[in-house]
Amino acid sequence: MAEYFNESQLTILRNLYIELEDTYNLDLNEYKDDYCFEMGLRNCSQLDVIENNKDLRDMFDLLVNSLLEEYELVDKIQKSTKRKTIFD
């Protein structure tokens, strides 16, 4: 996805977080504060929060998958991540 938009992976992630918040009308910082408090952390990443919250993870996966389909990147991603076998 980063190559398609000619952006860094960090920029892609930041924009995905914005899309997630806007699409589902939520504030990741609130989830982040709660997660850090529950885990006894002074700081944590938004990706850690998403990965460790099933609802957020499901929403994030759905968002990413829908964007991959919208920009017709599904086949490109699958081809680039699938290892070559005799069945290809």
Q: Looking at residue 49, what is its pLDDT?
A: 96
Residue 87: is its pLDDT beyond 70? no
Contact indicator for 53, 35 with CB cutoff of 8 Å: yes
SS3 74: helix
Note if the pTM is more than 0.85: no
Instruction: Write the pLDDT tens digit of every residue in 44-83.
Output: 999 999 999 999 999 999 999 999 989 888 776 555 556 6
The pLDDT assigned to 73 comes to 86
Report the pLDDT value the prediction gives residue 67, as an integer from 0 to 100: 92
In this structure, are residues 77 and 69 in contact, taking their beta carbons and an 8 Å threshold?
no
The torsion region of residue 7 among left (phi > 0), alpha (psi -120 to 50) and beta comes to: beta
31 to 4, 13, 52, 62, 84: CA distances (angstroms)? 30, 17, 11, 18, 40
pLDDT of 5 reads 86
